[in-house]
């Protein structure tokens, strides 16, 4: 029997964050990832933006934006040291506003309530009559992050490329008994399988509200010269170095199979505003976000199986939230630290009741 500290099912943004956070703490994880069913994961589709400001009209700060962004940037910088390649690219965000929002000085709202500050004051360098400048954003090169993570752990014998099934697993009766999968023993098994969790009996009843999204790869008449991320009316346009210009993303609460493989009209005001009318769309990417409770992740032990844990519900903000929640879950499982109530799955009755 071989001993590892953790078995992690899934290697999207959640699984990668767990594997690295475990590695940074001197632990040995084993990743089990099935990449044979491309429709099942969305981390590769995502543009990887980290944007602390949301909202189509009056801008709002996203949930715990500073804390999440701080941990995320430290996480991706640390990964870069291990793999020898930068994966996170700090990039200013230019938020173009509709005239009525601009006239109000981009009044800042926190969770819907005015916070008594304008965004221009919160983000120095902005002015009410110009697009709002957000300097603390950027983008994660998700493909490089995922591929390099895989290579790193595979080279160290910590990676299985196959579909995990609960039939091969023997869960101990208490937290201390740990778990056995094939000829591996671990203290816990963490399911970080995004929407793929629905196919595992222990998680099949999770009440996902999956939102499909489209991102367009764009060929502009000439490249955007600056390295800014442009945001307008809830959509963004970005020139990623070494890749195509991307524009997105839509939210479509429909059967993902029915999402048309064509340029969404709702992105046109943004592309026309930034690129003029003479651009072309070369490809459409479609992914599905795993949402359980807005875009706020949940993590914790399974209520019936103590050595089984999970991290899911990253929604549309996995880049910023995955590292912080992964770190908290590991400290909870391995050191007994209390989970932050805001992402403790046990305290979220709306979701927890489905696992009983
Ligand atoms: C169009 C679009 C744009 C987005 N843009 C952004 C953005 O700009 N910024 C941002 O922060 N977020 C963005 N997101 C959201 C982000 O992609 C998600 O929050 C994140 O990818 C979810 O990661 P995950 O690891 O939970 O799930 P997934 O990415 O789905 O990963 C789950 C993994 O588990 C594996 N798996 C499943 N079942 C099994 C099994 N039985 N055995 C083995 N492996 C299994 C799958 O193969 C997959 O690799 C976007 C999403 C979409 C759809």
DSSP string, 123-173: STT--TTSPEEETT-EEE-HHHHHHHHHHHHHHTT-EEES---GGGEEE-S
125 and 268 fall within a common domain: no
The per-residue pLDDT for 38 is: 55
CA of 47, closest atom in ligand 1: 8
The per-residue pLDDT for 39 is: 54
93 and 24 fall within a common domain: no
Q: Which domain, by its residues, includes 243?
A: 211-289
Mean pLDDT for the stretch of residues 249-256: 92
State the total domains in the chain: 3
pLDDT for 316-353, tens place per residue? 999 999 999 999 999 999 999 999 999 999 888 888 78
pLDDT for 164-188, tens place per residue? 999 999 999 888 899 999 999 999 9
Mean pLDDT for the stretch of residues 57-71: 88
The per-residue pLDDT for 112 is: 40
Decide: 29 and 309 in contact? Cβ < 8 Å: no
310 lines ligand 1 (CB under 6 A): no
Q: How far apart, in Å, are the Cα atoms of 18 and each of 6, 23, 28?
A: 9, 9, 11
Nearest CA to ligand 1 atom 19: 318
pLDDT for 14-52, tens place per residue? 999 999 999 999 999 999 999 766 555 789 999 999 999
325 lines ligand 1 (CB under 6 A): no
326 lines ligand 1 (CB under 6 A): no
DSSP string, 277-333: S--EEEEEEEEEE--SBTB--EEEE-SS-TTEEEEE--TT-HHHHHHHHHHHHHHHH
Residue 129 preceded by cis peptide, ω within 30: no
242 and 266 fall within a common domain: yes
313 lines ligand 1 (CB under 6 A): no
Ligand 1 center–CA 12 separation, angstroms: 5
Boundary (domain end) residue, out of 140, 169, 192: 140
Nearest CA to 208 among 313, 302, 287?
A: 313
204 and 94 fall within a common domain: no
165 and 311 fall within a common domain: yes
198 and 329 fall within a common domain: yes
Decide: 11 and 40 in contact? Cβ < 8 Å: no
79 and 218 fall within a common domain: no
343 lines ligand 1 (CB under 6 A): no
7 and 101 fall within a common domain: no
- Give, as one character, the DSSP assignment of residue 227: -
Boundary (domain end) residue, out of 106, 140, 174: 140
Ligand 1 center–CA 41 separation, angstroms: 5
Cα(353)–Cα(356) distance, rounded to whole angstroms?
A: 5
- On the question of pLDDT at 12 being above 60, the answer is yes
The per-residue pLDDT for 32 is: 98
pLDDT band at 108 (very low <50, low <70, confident <90, very high): low
Mean pLDDT for the stretch of residues 301-307: 94
Nearest CA to ligand 1 atom 10: 317
52 lines ligand 1 (CB under 6 A): no
- CATH classification at residue 221: 3.30.70
∠249-253-254 over CA atoms, to 5°?
Answer: 110
292 lines ligand 1 (CB under 6 A): no
- CATH classification at residue 189: 3.50.50.60
106 and 235 fall within a common domain: no
8 lines ligand 1 (CB under 6 A): no
Ligand 1 center–CA 234 separation, angstroms: 21
247 and 114 fall within a common domain: no
193 lines ligand 1 (CB under 6 A): yes
Average pLDDT of the chain to the nearest whole number: 88
33 and 162 fall within a common domain: yes
CA of 36, closest atom in ligand 1: 47
pLDDT band at 100 (very low <50, low <70, confident <90, very high): low
34 lines ligand 1 (CB under 6 A): yes
63 and 167 fall within a common domain: no
pLDDT for 261-295, tens place per residue? 999 999 999 999 888 889 999 999 999 999 998 87
The per-residue pLDDT for 89 is: 95
Nearest CA to ligand 1 atom 48: 41
The percent of residues above 90 in pLDDT, for the chain, comes to: 68
49: CB partners within 8 A, 6+ apart: 137, 138, 139, 140, 229, 236, 238, 319
CA of 295, closest atom in ligand 1: 19
Boundary (domain end) residue, out of 96, 114, 140: 140
């Amino acid at each position: 029997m071989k001993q590892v500290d953790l078995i992690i099912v899934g290697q999207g943004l959640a699984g990668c964050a767990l594997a690295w956070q475990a590695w940074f703490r001197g632990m040995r994880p084993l990743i089990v990832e099935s990449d044979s069913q491309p429709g099942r994961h969305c981390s590769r589709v995502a543009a990887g933006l980290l944007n602390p400001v949301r909202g189509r009209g009056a801008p709002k700060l996203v949930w715990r934006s500073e804390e999440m962004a701080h941990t995320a940037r430290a996480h991706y910088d640390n990964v870069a040291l291990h793999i020898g390649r930068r994966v996170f690219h700090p990039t200013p965000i230019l938020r173009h506003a509709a005239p009525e929002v601009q006239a109000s000085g981009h009044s800042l709202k926190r969770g819907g309530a005015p916070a008594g500050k304008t965004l221009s004051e919160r983000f120095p360098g902005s002015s009410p009559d110009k697009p709002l400048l957000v300097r603390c954003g950027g983008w994660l090169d998700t493909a490089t992050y995922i591929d390099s993570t895989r290579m790193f752990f595979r080279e160290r014998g910590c990676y299985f490329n196959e579909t995990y099934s609960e039939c091969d697993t023997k869960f101990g009766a208490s937290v201390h008994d740990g778990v056995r999968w094939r000829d591996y023993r671990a203290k816990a098994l963490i399911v970080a399988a995004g929407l793929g969790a629905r196919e595992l009996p222990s998680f099949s009843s999770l009440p996902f509200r999956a939102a499909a999204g489209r991102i367009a790869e764009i060929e502009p008449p000439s490249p955007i010269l600056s390295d800014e991320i442009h945001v307008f009316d809830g959509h963004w346009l970005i020139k990623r170095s070494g890749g195509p210009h991307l524009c997105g993303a839509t939210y479509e609460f429909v059967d993902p199979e029915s999402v048309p493989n064509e340029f969404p009209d709702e992105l046109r005001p943004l592309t026309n505003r930034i690129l003029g009318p003479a651009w072309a769309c070369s490809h459409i990417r479609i992914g599905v976000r795993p949402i359980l409770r807005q875009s706020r992740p949940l993590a914790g032990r399974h209520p019936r199986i103590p050595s089984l844990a999970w991290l899911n519900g990253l929604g549309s903000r996995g880049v910023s939230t995955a590292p912080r929640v992964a770190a908290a879950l590991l400290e909870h499982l391995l050191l007994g630290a209390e989970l932050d109530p805001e992402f403790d799955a046990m305290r979220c009755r709306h979701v927890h009741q489905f696992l009983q």
